[in-house]
């Protein structure tokens, strides 16, 4: 059969076409062989349906259909010859059968999808097309059969032959072709396999009873009822297969002379050919009753599925929307919250459940009365309302609100929708921008840099206070003057160039020049010029920012003088790559080299090669220099004596320190090499000892902090557990009426307090347990424990967790006890943690199974669930403290991430091991293996350091 696709099935392949031609031949031979010798035509011709499928599902192209028709002529003619018919009669029948397949197939091909697939059977149009194809093809072959009988079969009745062939071929097309057409429709299972088995058995029994020997009662309608059952309950493919089976069985038993039609033929009430024709008409009726019903039911199921999908899509869009959405209903003058998504709840700063049923007017601070808006919206005077409002209880929050009517309920009431967008950040950002503008103005007046702002003609329009301080000119003296006339900047050429030839890169033009102050003093100023553009990208203002570098230039001159001064200390400035960039007079004196001889050379070339390589443990000079500077890091190396090769080739021993320079202060110089005496060397060693003392002190402080942390966790857990226990106890007294009989609405609050109190107590216990494990302060009891009995108690303890849940939780225990040496409360804790975790991470409708058994000399507890599962890349961290899987975060499942860490620690202390097998959205299985108690043999006590299992 053709494979299913979106617009019908794929056309038949060559191999499938050949197989169907073989099936056509076999069916035709069988029909001819089974036909009585006195009949010129067969009572039923199943090959007709197969031939129609061949043409209807042929591949697209000009030659596919003609070649298929030609092959059908040859195959059906050969089948008639094989069945014993004369060659001329067989050829005529073959041509008629091929013409039928062509006509019916072309009618069906009118229903192909746009993608060029095969016809389908998905709707009423397809069924009508099938009926028309069966009638057109039957009429075509009936005409050919009548003509053949009239001309080539002596004594034959053309009329009877035409009627019989029309019924037989139409029935064959209606029964067999739907099997192929239904294969192109989407499979939608309906009904159960048990129901299908009962139905098939009932249909078989009913058919055999109705068509049993000597059966003459008018019960032919009974199978129709069962076929209608199939149309209502099963998918279209199943129905077509059942119709084909029913047709084969009915035709066969009638041909044997059974049933009402067969008995009538035997009793000469009907001729054999007439009985066969009525049988085919009976099958046509069965198809016309059953197939439309099955198609309509399938369409109805598709429609319901689309409606359900649309509803789910709307609900998902509502709940998962990043935009806050609220559904409201008017109750009097209030707009009451009917439903709200998490985004809106976050905007309003409250939990979703606490917001349901509340008045929107009490949640928002609006400039307009909400009751007035409700009246305007309900009467149609206002189509929608939008505004920026505040949120009750959230000071400074700003929310954009859009309110409107979206639907009308069955009782005539209106459903309102409110969309909430938190613009608090934008509002805050706008306020911050205003403050930033004020800050910019203040910064402009307080900065030490000189700033001149000009218009497009180069005239000064603003001067900051730093310019006045540095130059002595007041703002009024500079405003309106050309920059070049102020004497502060060399000229305005840079600005003119920027205005005429816009600086598209945005990089400023930097120039250094002399500025003449009001007092006649000359200052060195580095000016950076750029333009400010408007919103269209055109120049609007020119900005010149100047930095007074007079002092820096004087300092640079001083450094240059220092480098030339005849001092006894050698100073070498090295590039990051180790080349000498700067030398002072002292270096020239100590090394015996002239400046031009060493500048540009590698520093390591001045050292004794063998000594350098030996001390650094390297084999080449480049690696040796890397070792030297690695010792310096971001600071300075200790003083060390090195042998230098002087200009005259003599060795010279110099105590040297190497330090990294600040890149911001010494461009191009990465390291500074200083030749010092032994005194400087001792000083460096003392500094290193002081640094080591500081590091040792830091380590001791860190150790003390860790111990304080452990003690703090233990103390806080103890201190929290005492008041929380009191809270839970008093809450239970309020719940059971020991103090005063609680109101019904108070009971829910008491239950919430008690439940959260128990969670806090459990958290405190977990923290205490972990604290004890860290400090080896846990006291383990070693006693004989029956794990089967423990699992029974666990089953009772987790029953309250099933309240309000649709979960199937099963416990499987062995028939006898399973004894281990362990701490009974801690082992029960392992079981409770694993089972409750499985219940917590399994959605309603799922299954949780706890199974305890013995495998060898181990007790094995496995807890399996069909829940959310754990991604593979997160499983190695599963037993770490405070670890929670991404699935838990995504689904917002409560937990601390301590339970499995404690479980793993308890199992390890008992000499056991725990493993997990899971995958994302495929459930999980946790398996715990504990050594059984050996009677009379060695048993390690709980907590023995000899236990070294590894959770995996």
By C-alpha distance, which of 753, 847, 737, 827 is closest to 783? 827
Q: Does domain 321-429 have CATH number 3.30.450.20?
A: yes
Query: Among positive and negative, which fits the CA dihedral 71, 75, 78, 84?
Result: negative
By C-alpha distance, which of 774, 834, 773, 842 is closest to 807? 842
Q: Of 27-41, 254-268, 421-435, 478-492, which gets the smallest average pLDDT?
A: 254-268
- Look at residue 404 and tell me whether its pLDDT is greater than 50: yes
Percent of the chain whose predicted confidence (pLDDT) is above 70: 82
Contact residues for 387 (Cβ-Cβ < 8 A; gap 6+)? 366, 367, 368, 400, 401
Q: Of 122-131, 240-249, 457-466, 756-765, which gets the smallest average pLDDT?
A: 756-765
Q: What is the pLDDT of residue 950?
A: 40
Q: What is the CATH number of domain 779-931?
A: 3.30.565.10
For residue 753, the surrounding DSSP H or E stretch is helix 744-774
- Look at residue 158 and tell me whether its pLDDT is greater than 60: yes
The CATH architecture assigned to 1-185 reads Orthogonal Bundle (1.10)
- φ, ψ at 334 (rounded to 5°): -100, 150
Of 72 and 889, the structure prediction assigns the larger pLDDT to 72
- Look at residue 412 and tell me whether its pLDDT is greater than 70: no
- Look at residue 179 and tell me whether its pLDDT is greater than 50: yes
- Look at residue 861 and tell me whether its pLDDT is greater than 80: yes
Protein fold of 447-553: Beta-Lactamase (3.30.450)
Residues of the chain with CATH 3.30.450.20: 321-429, 447-553, 565-676
By C-alpha distance, which of 640, 581, 586 is closest to 611? 640
DSSP 8-class letter at 602 = B
- Report how far residue 903's alpha carbon sits from residue 127's, in angstroms, rounded to the nearest whole number: 64
Q: pLDDT digit string (tens) for 914-932? A: 999 998 888 899 999 999 9
By C-alpha distance, which of 160, 176, 152 is closest to 45? 176
- Look at residue 444 and tell me whether its pLDDT is greater than 80: no
Other CB atoms within a 10 A radius of the CB of residue 277 amount to: 24
- Report how far residue 645's alpha carbon sits from residue 664's, in angstroms, rounded to the nearest whole number: 33
Residues of the chain with CATH 3.30.565.10: 779-931
Gap between the terminal Cα atoms of the chain? 50
- Report how far residue 531's alpha carbon sits from residue 508's, in angstroms, rounded to the nearest whole number: 8
By C-alpha distance, which of 43, 45, 47 is closest to 261? 43
How far is the CA of 620 from the CAs of 462, 606, 673, in angstroms?
Answer: 61, 14, 21
Q: What is the pLDDT of residue 38?
A: 54
Mean pLDDT of the chain, nearest integer: 79
Mean pLDDT of 484-512: 68
- Report how far residue 619's alpha carbon sits from residue 222's, in angstroms, rounded to the nearest whole number: 102
Q: Of 538-547, 766-775, 869-878, 923-932, which gets the smallest average pLDDT?
A: 766-775
DSSP lists the bridge partners of residue 657 as 674
Q: Of 147-161, 538-552, 832-846, which gets the smallest average pLDDT?
A: 147-161
Q: Of 59-73, 396-410, 661-675, 742-756, which gets the smallest average pLDDT?
A: 661-675
- Look at residue 230 and tell me whether its pLDDT is greater than 90: no
Of 550 and 939, the structure prediction assigns the larger pLDDT to 550
Q: How is residue 864 written in tokens?
A: 């399996």
Q: What is the pLDDT of residue 269?
A: 44
Other CB atoms within a 10 A radius of the CB of residue 151 amount to: 13
- Look at residue 911 and tell me whether its pLDDT is greater than 70: yes
Residues of the chain with CATH 1.10.1760: 1-185
Q: pLDDT digit string (tens) for 722-767? A: 787 778 777 778 777 777 788 777 777 877 786 677 667 766 776 6
Q: pLDDT digit string (tens) for 92-134? A: 888 888 888 888 888 888 866 555 567 878 788 888 888 888 8
- Report how far residue 588's alpha carbon sits from residue 596's, in angstroms, rounded to the nearest whole number: 10
By C-alpha distance, which of 912, 938, 935, 907 is closest to 784? 935
Q: pLDDT digit string (tens) for 619-655? A: 888 888 888 888 777 777 787 888 888 777 778 778 8
- Look at residue 548 and tell me whether its pLDDT is greater than 70: yes
- As a residue count, the chain comes to 952
Q: What is the pLDDT of residue 210?
A: 80
- φ, ψ at 594 (rounded to 5°): -80, 155
Contact assessment for residue 390 and residue 397, using Cβ atoms and an 8 Å cutoff: yes
Burial code (b: 16+ CB inside 10 Å, e: under 16) for 774-812 equals: eeeebeeeeeebebbebbeebbeebeeeeeeeebebebe
Percent of the chain whose predicted confidence (pLDDT) is above 90: 7
Rg (CA), the chain: 48
By C-alpha distance, which of 97, 113, 105, 166 is closest to 138? 166
Q: Of 144-148, 392-396, 500-504, 912-916, which gets the smallest average pLDDT?
A: 500-504
Query: Is 0.85 topped by the overall pTM?
Result: no
Contact assessment for residue 608 and residue 632, using Cβ atoms and an 8 Å cutoff: no
What CA dihedral angle connects 569, 570, 573 and 576, to 10 degrees? -110
Q: pLDDT digit string (tens) for 24-67? A: 888 777 777 666 555 555 656 788 888 888 888 888 777 878 88
Q: pLDDT digit string (tens) for 777-815? A: 677 888 999 999 999 888 888 888 888 889 999 999 998
Secondary structure E strands in 722-846: 783-786, 808-812, 819-822
HSE of 232 in the Cβ direction (CA atoms, 13 Å)? Answer: 8
Q: What is the pLDDT of residue 2?
A: 44
By C-alpha distance, which of 905, 860, 911, 861 is closest to 879? 905
3-state secondary structure of 920: coil
Report residue 1's pLDDT band, with 50, 70 and 90 as the boundaries: very low
Other CB atoms within a 10 A radius of the CB of residue 249 amount to: 16
Q: What is the pLDDT of residue 927?
A: 95
Options 3.40.50.300, 1.10.3720.10, 3.40.50.10490, 3.30.450.20; CATH of 565-676: 3.30.450.20
Mean pLDDT of 305-309: 83
Place of tokens 């604290």: 771
Burial code (b: 16+ CB inside 10 Å, e: under 16) for 280-291 equals: bbbbbebbeebb
Q: What is the pLDDT of residue 411?
A: 55
By C-alpha distance, which of 335, 352, 353, 356 is closest to 344? 352
Q: pLDDT digit string (tens) for 565-606? A: 767 678 888 888 888 888 887 778 777 778 878 888 888 888
Q: What is the pLDDT of residue 5?
A: 38
Instruction: Give, to the nearest 10 degrees, the angle between helix 259-266 and helix 272-320.
Output: 170
Q: How is residue 592 written in tokens?
A: 């015996």
How far is the CA of 347 from the CAs of 344, 364, 369, 401, 455, in angstroms?
Answer: 5, 11, 21, 11, 47
- Look at residue 395 and tell me whether its pLDDT is greater than 70: yes
Of 577 and 949, the structure prediction assigns the larger pLDDT to 577
Q: What is the pLDDT of residue 930?
A: 94
């Amino acid at each position: 059969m053709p494979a299913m696709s979106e617009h019908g099935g794929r056309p038949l392949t060559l191999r499938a076409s050949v197989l169907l031609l073989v099936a056509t031949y076999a069916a035709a031979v069988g029909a001819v062989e089974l036909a009585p010798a006195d009949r010129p035509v067969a009572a039923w011709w199943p090959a007709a349906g197969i031939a129609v499928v061949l043409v209807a599902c042929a591949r697209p192209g000009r030659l596919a259909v003609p070649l298929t028709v030609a092959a059908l002529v040859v195959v059906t003619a050969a089948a008639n010859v094989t069945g014993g018919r004369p060659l001329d009669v067989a050829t005529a029948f073959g041509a008629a059968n091929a013409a039928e397949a062509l006509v019916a197939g072309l009618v069906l091909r009118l229903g192909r999808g746009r993608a060029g697939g095969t016809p389908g059977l998905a709707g009423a149009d397809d069924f009508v097309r099938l009926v028309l194809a069966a009638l057109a093809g039957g009429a075509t072959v009936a005409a050919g059969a009548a003509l053949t009988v009239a001309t080539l079969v002596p004594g034959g009745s053309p009329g009877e032959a035409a009627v019989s062939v029309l019924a037989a071929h139409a029935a064959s097309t209606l029964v067999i072709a739907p099997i192929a057409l239904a294969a192109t429709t989407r499979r939608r299972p309906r009904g159960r396999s048990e129901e299908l088995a009962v139905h098939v058995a009932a249909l078989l029994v009913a058919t055999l009873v109705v068509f049993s020997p000597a059966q003459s009662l008018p019960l032919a309608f009974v199978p129709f009822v069962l076929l209608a059952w199939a149309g209502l309950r099963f998918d279209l493919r199943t129905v077509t297969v059942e119709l084909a089976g029913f047709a084969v069985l009915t035709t066969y038993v009638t041909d044997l002379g059974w049933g009402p039609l067969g008995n009538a033929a035997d009793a000469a009430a009907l001729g054999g050919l007439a009985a066969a024709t009525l049988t085919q008409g009976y099958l046509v009726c069965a198809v016309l009753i059953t197939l439309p019903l099955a198609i309509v039911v399938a369409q109805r199921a598709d429609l319901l599925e689309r409606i359900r999908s649309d509803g789910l899509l709307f609900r998902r869009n509502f709940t998962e929307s990043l935009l806050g959405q609220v559904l409201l209903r008017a109750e009097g003058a209030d707009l009451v919250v009917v439903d709200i998504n998490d985004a809106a709840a976050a905007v309003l700063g409250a939990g979703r459940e606490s917001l349901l049923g509340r008045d929107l007017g009490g949640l928002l601070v609006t400039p307009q009365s909400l009751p007035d808006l409700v009246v305007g919206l309900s009467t149609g005077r206002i189509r929608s309302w939008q505004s920026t409002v505040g949120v009750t209880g959230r000071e400074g929050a700003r929310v954009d609100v859009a309110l409107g009517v979206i639907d009308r309920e069955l009782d005539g009431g209106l459903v309102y929708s409110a969309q909430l967008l938190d613009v608090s950040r934008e509002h805050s950002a706008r306020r911050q921008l205003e403050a930033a503008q004020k800050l910019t103005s203040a910064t402009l007046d307080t900065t030490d840099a000189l700033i001149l702002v000009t218009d497009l003609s180069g005239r000064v329009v603003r001067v900051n206070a730093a310019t006045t301080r540095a130059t002595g000119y007041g703002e009024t003296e500079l405003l309106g003057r050309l920059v070049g006339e102020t004497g502060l900047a060399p000229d305005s050429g840079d600005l003119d160039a920027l205005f005429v030839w816009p600086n598209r890169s945005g990089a400023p033009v930097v120039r250094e020049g002399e500025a003449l102050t009001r007092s006649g003093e000359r200052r060195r100023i580095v000016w950076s010029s750029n333009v400010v553009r408007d919103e269209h990208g055109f120049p609007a203002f020119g900005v010149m920012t100047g930095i007074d570098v007079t002092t820096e230039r004087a300092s640079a001159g001083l450094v240059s003088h220092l480098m030339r001064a005849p001092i006894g200390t050698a100073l070498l400035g090295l590039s990051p790559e180790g080349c000498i960039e700067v030398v002072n007079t002292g270096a020239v004196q100590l090394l015996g080299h002239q400046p031009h001889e060493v500048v540009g050379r590698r520093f390591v070339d001045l050292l004794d090669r063998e000594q350098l390589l030996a001390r650094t443990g390297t084999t080449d000079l480049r690696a040796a220099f890397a070792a030297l500077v690695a010792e310096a890091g971001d600071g300075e190396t200790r003083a060390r004596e090195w042998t230098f090769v002087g200009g005259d080739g003599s060795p010279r021993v110099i105590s040297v320190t190497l330090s990294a320079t600040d890149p911001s202060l010494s461009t191009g110089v990465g390291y500074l090499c200083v030749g010092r005496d032994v005194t400087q060397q001792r000083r460096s060693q003392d500094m290193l000892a002081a640094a080591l003392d500081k590091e040792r002190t830091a380590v001791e402080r860190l150790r003390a902090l860790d111990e304080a942390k452990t003690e703090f966790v233990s103390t806080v857990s103890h201190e929290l557990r005492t008041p929380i226990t009191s809270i839970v106890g008093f809450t239970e007294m309020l719940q059971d009426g020991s103090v005063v009989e609680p109101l019904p609405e108070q009971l829910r609050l008491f239950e919430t307090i008690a439940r959260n109190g128990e969670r806090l107590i459990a958290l405190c216990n977990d923290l205490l347990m972990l604290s004890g494990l860290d400090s080896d302060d846990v006291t383990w009891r070693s006693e004989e424990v029956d794990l089967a009995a423990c699992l029974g108690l666990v089953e009772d303890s987790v029953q309250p967790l099933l309240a309000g849940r649709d979960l199937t939780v099963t416990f499987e225990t062995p028939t006898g006890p399973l004894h281990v040496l362990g701490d009974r409360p801690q082992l029960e804790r392992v079981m409770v943690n694993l089972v409750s975790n499985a219940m917590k991470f399994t959605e309603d409708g799922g299954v949780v199974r706890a199974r305890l058994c013995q495998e060898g000399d181990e007790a094995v507890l496995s807890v399996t669930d069909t829940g959310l599962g754990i991604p593979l890349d997160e499983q190695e961290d599963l037993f770490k403290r405070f670890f929670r899987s991404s699935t838990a975060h995504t689904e917002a499942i409560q937990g601390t991430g301590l339970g499995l860490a404690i479980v793993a620690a308890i199992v390890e202390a008992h000499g056991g091991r725990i493993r997990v097998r899971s995958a994302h959205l495929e459930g999980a299985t946790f398996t715990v293996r504990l050594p059984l108690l050996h009677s009379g043999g060695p048993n390690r006590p709980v907590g023995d350091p000899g236990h070294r299992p590894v959770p995996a």
